[in-house]
A = this chain, B = another copy of it.
Amino acid sequence: MMYTLSQIAQTLGRPVEGDGTIRFARVAEPAAAGPGDLALAMSPAYAEALHAGQARVAVLWEGADWRAMGLEGAILVPRARLAMAGITAALDPGPRMNVGLHPTAIVEDGAQIGEGAAIGPFVVIAAGARIGARARIAGHVTVAEEAVIGDDALLMQGVRIGARVRIGDRFIAQPGVVIGGDGFSFVTPEESGVEKARRTLGDQGEITQQKWTRIHSLGSVRIGDDVEVGANSTIDRGTVADTVIGRGTKIDNLVMIGHNNRVGEDCLLCGQVGLAGGSTIGDRVVLAGKVGVSDNITIGNDVVAGGGTEIYSRVRDGEVIMGSPAVKMETNMAMYRALRRLPRALEQLSELRRAVAGMTGGKRDDD
């Protein structure tokens, strides 16, 4: 498919500079752009790379002198990443899927599929499931009994939607996502060693041999509108109530959301984040890669946690945290800077103790 510069300008709500009729089939990084590409060079840092490439048209930073760069047309944008959203949405062909039911797909009696849906090969939609209009369901997806999915869903290959899961509109799930596995919840007949250790902060008491009995998951998973989930991530069902993901929240790959968590709206949960269970996460919370959240924690609104942060206790609204255990980012940095100085400081402490002992003539225990 071919696009004109004017089409993209219109998409972005920005004026065209130069020749808006120039056509291209794809976007490219500035240095790699050929004469038939739209170069993306939305920061002055790319000016040189643009010269190295052969683009005739480009999207540039605001104020860029596009003529001096030898271009024939350009769009100037004030916020690069926002422009990227518009450009990539316009050019994304999306996965190739055919409207209708693939002959190998199984839609059990009593399942409902909305108008205009595309259901791929070897898909299984169980009885009682309801899927909205214009759904695009790729090969090997399974949707279990009584699950409900809103309009305009995109479920990629091998996604598993469990029984009674309810999902809003415009849901996107990358391949291998599992929504509605059982929660991980077990109990021993008497108080277990791990329960005692948590209660006493470290003391298991007398050890007894006990087996784990399963607590079943009677709850399900409830997901709002405009949620996305990345490849091979898992969201477990709740024990009695549902596990909840709020509207607009985006979840990356290999993220683990345990049972009974309640995640707010417009959050970002990056790759390999893990929420143990039973925690409440506010709105607009950003958890960077590999962040871990212990169970039954409350995290306020607008919290930002840096990569690898481990959260064992309550976090207040708006805090920017880091480290293990999580503390405010500035505290974390101060502690770290001090730790870097510590080996030298211990030497100084020893010298000082010797000096003072010499002054007093007193005895001193060596460490």
Contact = CB atoms under 8 A, between A and B. Distances in A.
A216 B276 contact: no
- Which size class do A's interface residues fall under? 35 or more
Contacts of A328: 202
A361 to B, nearest CB: 12
Contacts of A75: none
Given A95-B144, A215-B85, A240 B345 contact: no
A201 B359 contact: no
A228 B126 CA distance: 25
A39 to B, nearest CB: 10
B207 A318 contact: yes
Contact of A367 (B126, B174, B292, B341): B341
Interface stretch (A16-24, A65-73, A111-119, A301-309): A301-309
Q: Which of A124, A248, A256, A304 lies at the interface centre, i.e. has the most chain B CB atoms within 10 A of its CB? A: A256
Interface string A326-367: 001110011111111111111011001101100110100001
Interface string A280-292: 0001101011101
A345 to B, nearest CB: 6
A341 B240 CA distance: 43
A153 interface: no
Contacts of A145: 95-96
Contacts of A10: none
Contacts of A308: 292, 310, 324
Given A82-B187, A367-B344, A256 B256 contact: no
Given A294-B307, A359-B359, A231 B178 contact: yes
Contacts of A253: 178, 181, 184, 234, 236, 256, 258
Contacts of A63: none
A190 B325 CA distance: 31
A157 B96 CA distance: 22
B254 A256 contact: yes
B329 A202 contact: yes
Given A156-B160, A308-B310, A187 B84 contact: yes
Interface in A191-230: 191-194, 197, 201-204, 207, 209-218, 226, 228, 230
A89 B185 CA distance: 12
9 contacts: A104-B106, A121-B124, A140-B142, A186-B250, A194-B286, A204-B304, A214-B228, A276-B307, A308-B324
A320 B286 contact: no
A196 B181 CA distance: 36
A183 to B, nearest CB: 9
B186 A268 contact: yes
A239 to B, nearest CB: 7
A184 B271 contact: yes
